Structure 1
Amino acid sequence: MGSLGLGAATIGNLYRAISDETARATVDAAWEVGIRHFDTAPHYGLGLSERRLGAALAERPRDAFVLSTKVGRWLEPSDQGGSDLAIGGYDVPADFRRVWDFSADGVKRSLEASLERLGTDRIDTVYIHDPDDHWVEAVEGAYPALAALRDQGVVGTIGVGMNQWEMPAAFVRETDIDQVMLAGRYTLLEQPALDELLPLCVERGVSVVAAAVFNTGLMSRPEVGDDARYDFAQAPKEQVARARALAAVCARHDVVLPQAAIQFPLAHPAVTSVVVGARTAEQITDAAEWMAAPIPPALWDDLRSVGLLGADTPVPVP
């Protein structure tokens, strides 16, 4: 299942804690369904995601999978105590604090620490993580450092991972990155990256990994609940209403909403893969089934006819 990857934020105790055994079972299930792309970051659980992912992959052939992590948040030991839940959203002890650091030295230190936590000798893809308020530091510090490491063969490909499309477009124009991990900005719910970023990526040969394709929970279930999340917060009423309208059209074609949501981004020529988070083995198995299940072309026609998709928006074809 080369077009589907596992995002490992949830096994870093995003929102609530899970056991090491549950995390391991999730990664094992991903492997069993054919997933060979695994994405993590120091930010996820203050390093817990990297440690758990590394342990789960330790006995797998290293050349058989693609591993990505991120730079930009240095983990500094802290004695503040308590939980990170209210600070960073992860149910882990606040033994570290995140320090923004997009300097060349920060990139190197972060990668060394990630390699140790992951228990590996190399990382295939490294993303500059959420430099929203740090453009100058990221483009003058982190990017040249990563480009040099790429040139030296220390890392494979480099890119930027963000929850917006505008700054990634600037990176594509002004640097020589290989990939963009685009979270939530090209989904069945909304496509703000369609007009500018994605055509630019096609033009420059930059691949796009679509993340948060369920908009962090809003489209992750066949039925949209009142408590659904959107962009890591309570979903606004208008977004809930739109997701429910999408789900209703899907149901008319015997398709569930997450099935359409997971397949939709891959119709664009810039998008090479989709990464989804999963807390349990069942969730990643469901995602794999949704990715593989056929969708009748009439569904996409129906979505267009009721104005839930633009006429020129690429859609999957059988």
Structure 2
Amino acid sequence: MIGRPLGTTGLELSTFSFGAAGIGNLYREVSREDAMATLETAWEAGIRYFDTAPHYGHGLSERRLGDFLRDKPKGSYVLSSKVGRLLKPVAEEDIPDHGFVRPLPFAQVHDYTYDGIRRSYQDSLARLGLNGIDILYIHDLEATTLGADYDRHFADFVESGARALEELKASGAIKAIGLGVNEVPACLNLLARVPLDVILLAGRYTLLDRSAEAELLARCEETGTRLVIGGVFNSGILATGARPGATFNYVEASADVMEKVQAMEVVAQSAGTTLAAAALHFPLRNPLVVSVLIGTAKPSSLLRNVELFDQTIAETAWAQFEEHAIGTEG
């Protein structure tokens, strides 16, 4: 799979990458055997960039991904995890529900301070069973996740947490500092205060949702920040099409969104392709984007996406898709 350089970090990311939330039992339980089979399928398909987080399965995803990567040649893959949450052991009946089925018996505590980030990094290495992580993302430092606590956590990170990441990078322990969020304002807010090598942005630079275009892309160009794009199907509707019950941003799609997607389906059909294939390809048309991140825990789903990724989309189709996108103004 073709690789793209991650700015000046020295890292090269496969253009198609693996998001490991699914193997942390997101929404459904996944056996260890199925998790390993999915990871092996990803490796055989040429994927060499893998992303995980303490949040995913309360550490389960990191454990499984580390087990898979442990025997791979050093330097043959790029690994990212995240900071901002610490895991604390709790009784089985006190395990909080964050959308993961039968997660490990931990509660999550947000901590973006210097000490919290240093501890998160060390804890992730222990769960992974590895001695290095290439990219650390500040996870969910955004108002939609943190609510009324956002300003406090933002101040913690800017005033002390950022220094922890800068020290880790300066020492060579990590090679890149990133931000992993779902909203554009959080990106702009942090970029105004802290230099970032990369932003993992979910759902805001897609075939349908162009929220990142108005300000963020230009700001990334100015700062030399690169993008990894997740959520390219906007939680489902760009994979399933405008079917009854289709979801957009994890809720049932509105009539307006359904109408836009129906129009996009017509464009795709006229271009001899599918909506899902166009959705996978769209972000990579921008040179700021180094990789498209796909999360799955099924080998069949992964292979289906790889096959879509191998398709060629007619150049004339892109302008027609844009006519029906959200957030293209400005």
Q: Give me the TM-score of the superposition, normalised by structure 2.
A: 0.88
| Map of 2:111 onto structure 1 | 101
Q: How does 1:209-288 map to 2 (within 5 A)?
A: 209-221=228-240, 223-288=241-306
Q: Secondary structure at the match of 2:86?
A: strand
Deviations 1:68-118 (A, max 9, x none): 00001111111151665xx20111246111101001111111111111111
| Map of 1:291 onto structure 2 | 309
Q: Secondary structure at the match of 2:211?
A: coil
1:31 to 31, 38, 43: 43
Relative distance call for 1:238 and 1:15 in structure 2 (3 A) is: farther
Q: Secondary structure at the match of 1:254?
A: coil
Instruction: Tell me if structure 2 keeps the 8 A contact 1:13–1:45.
Output: yes
> How much is the aligned-residue C-alpha RMSD, in angstroms?
2.0
5+ residue gaps, structure 2, are 2-13, 143-149
Q: Could you tell me which amino acid in structure 2 is paired with residue 238 of structure 1?
A: D
Deviations 1:263-310 (A, max 9, x none): 101112221111111121111112222122111122224324xx2159
Q: Could you tell me which amino acid in structure 1 is paired with residue 70 of structure 2?
A: A
Alpha-carbon separation, structure 2, partners of 1:244 and 1:92: 37
2:182 to 154, 159, 163: 163
Relative distance call for 1:142 and 1:238 in structure 2 (3 A) is: farther
Alpha-carbon separation, structure 2, partners of 1:296 and 1:48: 41
- Equivalenced residue count is 308
Instruction: Tell me if structure 2 keeps the 8 A contact 1:3–1:272.
Output: yes
Deviations 1:196-238 (A, max 9, x none): 11111111111111111111222123x3432333323333343
Q: Could you tell me which amino acid in structure 2 is paired with residue 268 of structure 1?
A: N
| Map of 2:69 onto structure 1 | 57
Deviations 1:6-46 (A, max 9, x none): 00111111111111111111111111110000001000111
2:81 to 65, 69, 79: 69
1:119 to 112, 123, 129: 129
Alpha-carbon separation, structure 2, partners of 1:16 and 1:238: 30
Decide which moves more: 236-245 or 30-39: 236-245
Relative distance call for 1:176 and 1:301 in structure 2 (3 A) is: closer
Displacement, 1:243? 2.4
1:48 to 38, 60, 81: 60
Q: Give me the TM-score of the superposition, normalised by structure 1.
A: 0.91
1:184 to 203, 207, 215: 203
Q: Could you tell me which amino acid in structure 2 is paired with residue 308 of structure 1?
A: H
Deviations 1:161-220 (A, max 9, x none): 110011212222321211111111110111111121111111111111111111122212
Deviations 1:110-165 (A, max 9, x none): 11111111111000000000111122122223211101110111111001111001
